Amino acid sequence: MVTNATVTAQAIATPRPRVGLLTILLAYLTAGFTAFGIAIIPKLKALAVDRGWLTVDEVDEGFALVQLYPGPMMVDFSAYVGYKLRGVPGAILATLGFVLPSFVLMLILSFVYFNTGNVPWVKPMFAGLESIVVGIIAHLALDFGERVLKGRLHALIALAAFGALLFKANPVLIVGISLALGALLLTPNAAPLPAAHMAAPAERAPLRRWLSIGLVTVAVIAAAVYAAALLSDVGRMGLSFFKIGTVAFGNGITIMPLVQADVVDTYHWLTPAQFADGIALGQITPGPVLITAAFVGFKLGGIPGAALATFAMFAPSFAMTLIFTEVFTRLRSLRLIRGALAGVLASFVGLLTVMALQLGGIAISGPATLTLAAAALVAVRFFKLDIVWVFAGGLLVWGGLLALGLV
């Protein structure tokens, strides 16, 4: 009788095909240019399976893995695939390929945005864009809540996070407390470790891999020290994004409340309207939504500032991906870890709701903007339209209303 564990063990024993580093880079550059919105997840999962690089079980394991520690999940998932294929060099090239297209596009858009702010038609157009963002974030908060709030305790953590952020509590402290509450209270409801993981042998990683991981970790720490040594807004921004990249769980949009807390509320590097515009530009570019970090960095320090912001946002969890990929099969207390994760994700529902309300208070200035935000919410939530098409259609309608002098 052949069991799932037997099949898994046989798959693990089968030699993995050696994939060229250039092949990895080109594949992820293509994904980085063509993956938008929610299409990113199936696109990246299919990339590794369709090419025969990883098995379905390995892809599912990787997707589960990147949810167990902080950082943007899909960037970390790209690093996971690259690492499984070719170690640290493969992880670096996969991540670089996935992030680079959106980084370059964001540089271009940031330059246009910050250099055309006084053009008469720009601000009215971005008023429409900001309204669409409010509708999209409202949908994401509702959708995220439906998926992660699985009981009264989850809902109470979300409500507590909502109230705490509303009264200006430190968002990192909110996340930390939610993590502890989840570990203590939600562990019994956490999903058990999949059988495929239990069947996998805990192979010892070669010393050279650990040395490579150590070098990456040292490089990340050195970059954080460099940011601190700058003693400027650019340096403080870099440290802020290093902090967020180290503690924030979830996908790009769920991490945005932590970004907003520092960028808008604490340091005032961007106005609320500029921050909403940065989110919108991150949504309409391919690749990771958190490329909005480059928008903030460009505002403060041009191209070098954008590069530092992007590195700071993604580098901490990149290093964690390398470490967790090696030690994952030796973790046996994952129920505790998953309980902590459930607590953190529940808190993000409250944080997202606060962000939607705050941005709505800025962007919604009358019946026209309210209608546009509501239309975006309905289009995404009930008609399941892709976010890119919602932005394109909404801006087309808004531009027509502006041209006719109706708004």
pLDDT tens profile 208-258: 888 888 899 999 999 999 998 988 889 999 999 998 888 776 666 677 788
Half-sphere exposure of 92 (CA within 13 A, CB side): 12
Q: Please, are residues 235 and 304 in contact by the beta-carbon 8 Å criterion?
A: no
The first and second tokens of residue 133, run together, are 């963002």
Q: Please, are residues 161 and 261 in contact by the beta-carbon 8 Å criterion?
A: no
The share of the chain scoring above pLDDT 90, in percent, equals 19
Q: Quick one: DSSP state of residue 190?
A: S
Q: What is the mean pLDDT of residues 177-194?
A: 68
Q: Is the pLDDT of residue 311 over 90?
A: yes
CA distance 84 to 77: 11
Q: Is the pLDDT of residue 111 over 50?
A: yes
- What pTM was computed for the model? 0.71
pLDDT band at 4 (very low <50, low <70, confident <90, very high): very low
Q: Is the pLDDT of residue 306 over 90?
A: yes
Q: What is the mean pLDDT of residues 371-378?
A: 91
- For residue 50, the tally of other CB atoms under 10 A from its CB is 8
Q: CB-based burial of residue 260 (10 Å sphere; 0-12 exposed, 13-18 middle, 19+ buried)?
A: buried
Of the candidates 217, 242, 214, 249, which has an alpha carbon nearest to the alpha carbon of residue 352? 249
Q: Which residue has the higher pLDDT, 13 or 64?
A: 64
Q: Is the pLDDT of residue 69 over 80?
A: no
Average pLDDT of the residues of the chain: 80
The share of the chain scoring above pLDDT 70, in percent, equals 83
Q: Report H helices in 328-366.
A: 334-363
Q: Is the pLDDT of residue 155 over 80?
A: yes
CA distance 101 to 286: 7
